[in-house]
Amino acid sequence: MVYIAALPYEYELPESSQVALVVIDMQRDFMEPGGFGDALGNDVARLQAIVPTLQQLIAGFRELGLPIIHTLECHLPDLSDCPPSKVRRGKGELTIGSEGPMGRILVKGEPGNGIIPELAPVPGEFVIHKPGKGAFYATNMESILQEQGITHLFITGVTTEVCVQTTMREANDRGYECLMVEDCTESYFPEFKQATLEMVRAQGGIVGWTATAAQVLEGLQQWQPSKALV
């Protein structure tokens, strides 16, 4: 058994466990100046600040040969997989499917819908196109986890209070042991991020754990050699 320093208490990695890193929605329209998030008046620099740490975490998982799952929030070009209520919500000038600064907003295959180059997936990593906030709704996420024998998830990405938290709650309800990596997730609103971290680890980890990338990597370095001996 390996223990990762975390809140509200140590996160346990039994030798029988299998882990995966989930990188949520690090797509250009949310992250880059001139994208959809920027056009809505958000400070995208807040989200960009986590990129170097997330690069280190991804590199650590790759070095250990551990699974990495990337997600993208997107819809088919005809929006047939997008509820009308989702299109209407917000009443802004730009809505899902509108022509935005980087192509049609949240439409699969558009330039703005791609993962930022700094975090681009490599061959062998999974990419899930999700029409909802969570990674499990209307996707093959659970089948991937089952096929890989995954039991423990390290969850990262943007935004903390929306797609990241939704995915973590979906996974928690399905029995996965989830840890949100504090310095590899971010929100346009710092108070929303802080509230989410406190929510998920409240009441003895009602949704899961939180820890830093350094704490996660330190624990995995101890756990992976022990698994090799099993």
Reply yes or no on whether 183 is catalytic.
no
Tokens of 5: 């320093």
216's tokens: 């996660």
* 29 tagged catalytic: no
Q: Which of 25, 29, 38, 183 is catalytic?
A: 25
> Going by DSSP bridges, is the β-strand pair 103-104/209-211 parallel, antiparallel, or unpaired?
unpaired
Q: What angle do the packed helices 213-228 and 51-63 form, to 10 degrees? A: 0
| Nearest residue to 66 (alpha-carbon basis) of 149, 131, 178 | 149
| CB-based contact 219:193 (threshold 8 Å) | no
- Label residue 6 left, alpha or beta by phi (over 0 means left) and psi (-120 to 50 means alpha): beta
Report the distance separating Cα 9 and Cα 182, nearest Å. 15
Catalytic residue among 130, 183, 184, 193: 130
Q: Is 45 helix (H, G, I), strand (E, B) or coil?
A: helix
Identity of the residue numbered 230: V
Q: Is 91 a catalytic residue?
A: no
Helices 190-200 and 165-173: crossing angle, nearest 10°? Answer: 10
How far apart are alpha carbons 138 and 126 in whole angstroms?
16
Do 172 and 178 form a contact (C-beta atoms < 8 A)?
yes
State the catalytic residue, choosing from 163, 178, 184, 193: 163
Tell me the catalytic residues: 25, 130, 163
